[in-house]
Amino acid sequence: MFEIMATSGEVKVVVFDLNGTFYNESSKDEFYKFICLKRPKRLWFVFQMAFYKVLKKLHQVNKTEFKENFFNYLDDLPPSQVEKYAAEFWEREYPANFNQELKKHFDELREKGIKIFCATGGLELYVKPLFKLFQVDGFAGTRVAYTNNTYKVLGKACKNNEKLKRLDEAFSEKPYRIIEAYSDSKEEILDKAEKAFLIKNGHISPYS
């Protein structure tokens, strides 16, 4: 977790989702493709991933179970290696494949002292290197532990209400309010924001 800079009084926060919102693509899918370039033998995991996608659509697994099994393609890759691959991946993707309108807006808000926070369902393990390229005041993603050569989700996947809980943790020492929130789908964090926006194919529209 990045350190949250302390300010006096109430903290103003802008929260954004990553996939399909600030990042134009799905990082879980694109990072898998990148890993396959590095480790071609991992292409066979595509069948397992498709299987778990079907189970998720049929509501046979919850979001946390889906996350845990979808990322089996990272098995036997220790965190240090995954982070190294992730750093290379984001250097290829940023900034070309990001929403340039949002990037400019976030940069302007940061200059005004407003906190920029990313809340994503992606694994913190591979998302974190992105924020060495794009500065944020904090972020929350799905936490994992590397156990017996596989990755296990710690707690719950960072989705829906879990994002709000993680935001509360990040700003536990200061009262805060969400002045803007951005996502590619309807979720609870949009309802908590003073202004909320949906992103579809890069287009930003008010959420109601």
pLDDT in tens, the chain (208 residues): 333 444 458 999 999 999 999 999 999 889 988 888 887 665 545 555 555 456 556 566 565 665 666 578 888 999 999 999 999 999 999 999 999 999 999 999 999 999 999 999 999 999 999 999 999 999 999 999 999 999 999 999 999 999 999 999 999 988 999 999 999 999 999 999 999 999 999 999 999 7
Residue 5 falls inside a structural domain: no
pTM: 0.85
pLDDT reported for residue 9: 80
Residue 36 belongs to domain with CATH number: 3.40.50.1000
The whole-number pLDDT of residue 195 equals 97
The whole domain housing 60 covers 11-206
Cα–Cα distance measured from residue 57 to residue 21, given in angstroms and rounded to the nearest whole number: 22
CB burial class (10 A; 0-12, 13-18, 19+) of residue 44? exposed
pLDDT of residue 67: 60
Residue 29, pLDDT score: 87
181 in a structural domain: yes
Which residues are CB-neighbours of 123 under 8 A, at least 6 positions away? 28, 67, 71, 141, 142, 143, 144, 151
Query: Could you give the number of structural domains in the chain?
Result: 1
